[in-house]
Structure 1
């Protein structure tokens, strides 16, 4: 396995690295676009063990990116993973839009490319040679995760899609975001179904996540388009439609409907960690064999 080797540091720089770059880190601005930022959990054993894997946890509409970092910290420590939590703020264009990142593009911003640039920064800073990562997102982050998977499956070793309010189905008869007919024109990419089949996928939602006030699209709304509500009324119904859309294309899905859980991302984190841990175990066994 590849080793992550930290460069030599002076005592002063080493102290700063220990405080700000390892463990629960400070918040960094993206070098490519400082409107966006991120924080990390970095195992204190960095450089002493085999190279860590990278896990990205994408926030939802509430932007609780540091809470997700903290929730995954122990997982990162004991599974030798760096945890990366981006922040895509509300109203990047000054218009108060909360939803731009969920649909991957907002005016001239491509949020998938913003994330990839941040991942590149983290790989360079910590000497990571593996360019694939795991991606988890809940609610608005679940929007982002399944659409990122469609556009960049070759960059993921696992994807955990949590309770998105709206879903993009693998439907070639409808335009983005309801379907994928015009993905090539919008994003300059085609959907690689074969690559998607190679990514372990979890879909997870609370069985009590039944409120619809935030997810029902109405004509005239900024994200309205024909078919916007066709995948179902509630989040579990919509996620199940996404599952069926994936499975119709031969993409295997672990579907977790968590009893007695409402719309609360922190209450599904343990299930996501169990999923990622299983995928990691298989990856590492395969690398040894």
Structure 2
């Protein structure tokens, strides 16, 4: 997995870096950029947070949303960035490039959903981290990417996973075709049971209620999940709860709603950081201030 510059060299010094990562095991024709931040206090035993950007393919911005938390808690931030030039459209990023343009199934090893685990393995191989697991957060298109990753990939590399404000969801069923459901892509009953049991957090901004716009999916399958992102988050959570109850299996998800916050990548990043590393939701007064500012990106 060639890197330019090598990870150990690029992350030897505190601060921001941009590192070219070529996934030789997956799709070597489409390298990605790792936008990273290492605070002065980071040591190999400190947490690593992988951040999946939104539709603007702005991993540098999403990395920067985590800098304050990184400085306070000694976190290493890594934002794998899938450029619009090499990964155009939702199919190649949000949907993991599972299917070719003709609808045929691509090799499993070539899926974009493999990338975060391979990036974390490269960090471990380089001695940058000694952690066994990473935290992973995805917002908007990155939330679509992340919950589909969790639907199809092993979870053992993740300490925790938080999915923020996706535009729509892949429902936990094998009876509907991907990406509406998990049918037709080789997902198994074991994948579905592991997804339902996993302690995934669905983080939903209570003010993420726009019913139209260029970034809100509007295909019939998405509209069927609700008129806006906040409704669709509830629909997804309830679908998972109902599926687990129907099967009589454990259900590990939690739905956390965030007062005052809409479709704001900066605010939702700060909320996720606070829940994970401070153990609490930010004060409602702070959330209201962030909501008024509306400073985040997609």
TM-score class normalised by the smaller sequence: 0.7 to 0.9
Once the two structures are overlaid, the 10-residue window that deviates more, 99-108 or 23-32, is 99-108
Structure 2 SS opposite 1:146: helix
2:181 aligns with one of 179, 182, 186: 179
Aligned to 1:10: none
Structure 2 SS opposite 1:102: coil
Shift of residue 145 of structure 1? 1.2
Shift of residue 99 of structure 1? 4.7
Q: Write out per-residue CA displacement over residues 57-115 of structure 1, whole angstroms, 9 at most, x where no aligned residue.
A: 1100012211221221232233232111011011316xx43552101125354111223
Distance 1:99 1:105, change over 3 A: closer
Cα distance in 1 between the residues matched to 2:13 and 2:127: 10
Shift of residue 171 of structure 1? 1.7
Residues 214-225 of structure 1 aligned to structure 2 (within 5 Å): 214=214, 215-218=216-219
Give unmatched runs, 5+ long, in structure 1: 1-15, 219-225, 281-289
For the Cα contact (< 8 Å) 1:151–1:189, is it kept in 2?
A: no
- Answer yes or no: is 1:167 the counterpart of 2:169: yes
Cα distance in 2 between the residues matched to 1:41 and 1:70: 8
Structure 2 SS opposite 1:227: helix
Structure 2 SS opposite 1:120: helix
Instruction: Please give the root-mean-square deviation of Cα atoms over the aligned residues, in Å.
Output: 2.9
Distance 1:199 1:78, change over 3 A: same
Structure 2 SS opposite 1:243: helix
Give unmatched runs, 5+ long, in structure 2: 1-7, 101-105, 245-249, 281-298
Residues 182-261 of structure 1 aligned to structure 2 (within 5 Å): 182-184=184-186, 190-194=190-194, 197-214=197-214, 215-218=216-219, 227-248=221-242, 249=244, 250-261=250-261
Distance 1:25 1:208, change over 3 A: closer
Aligned to 1:28: 19
Distance 1:209 1:266, change over 3 A: farther
Aligned to 2:127: 126
Q: Write out per-residue CA displacement over residues 11-31 of structure 1, whole angstroms, 9 at most, x where no aligned residue.
A: xxxxx95x8643323210113
Cα distance in 2 between the residues matched to 1:140 and 1:193: 24
Shift of residue 150 of structure 1? 1.5
Cα distance in 2 between the residues matched to 1:195 and 1:168: 12
For the Cα contact (< 8 Å) 1:163–1:204, is it kept in 2?
A: yes
Cα distance in 1 between the residues matched to 2:195 and 2:151: 9
Distance 1:216 1:37, change over 3 A: closer
- Answer yes or no: is 1:104 the counterpart of 2:105: no
Shift of residue 200 of structure 1? 4.5
Cα distance in 2 between the residues matched to 1:246 and 1:22: 43
Shift of residue 206 of structure 1? 3.9
Aligned to 2:61: 67
Cα distance in 2 between the residues matched to 1:202 and 1:166: 12
Distance 1:274 1:91, change over 3 A: same
Distance 1:198 1:21, change over 3 A: same
Aligned to 1:9: none
Q: How many residues align?
A: 252
